[in-house]
């Protein structure tokens, strides 16, 4: 049976851009290209998710990760 990729949603709203979502996306992209995670994840850029006070925001497995970072994401993977 084929394995399906999981999605990582990254908010690209104006407050998240100020909070560093572009750098976060680059860091996540490097992480998922590593041997451990290669081909298992896909990054989806979204519009504002209305969590502006806790930017940048990541959604993984229906869980909202506020003040997202690569370290926080690694814990959840």
Q: What angle do CA 33, 48, 38 make, to 5 degrees?
A: 10
**pLDDT tens digits along 5-41:** 889 999 998 888 998 889 989 998 998 888 888 888 8
Residue percentage of the chain with pLDDT more than 70? 95
State yes or no: pLDDT of 1 exceeds 70.
no
Question: What kind of fold does domain 6-76 have according to CATH?
Answer: Glutaredoxin (3.40.30)
State yes or no: pLDDT of 2 exceeds 80.
no
Rounded to two decimals, the pTM is: 0.83
């Amino acid at each position: 049976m084929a394995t399906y990729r999981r999605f990582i949603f990254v908010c690209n709203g104006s407050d998240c851009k100020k909070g560093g979502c572009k750098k976060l996306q680059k860091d996540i992209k490097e992480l998922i290209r590593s041997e451990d995670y290669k081909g298992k994840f896909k990054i989806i850029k979204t519009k504002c998710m209305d969590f502006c006070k806790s930017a940048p925001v990541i959604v993984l497995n229906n869980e909202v990760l506020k003040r997202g970072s690569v370290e926080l994401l690694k814990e959840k993977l």
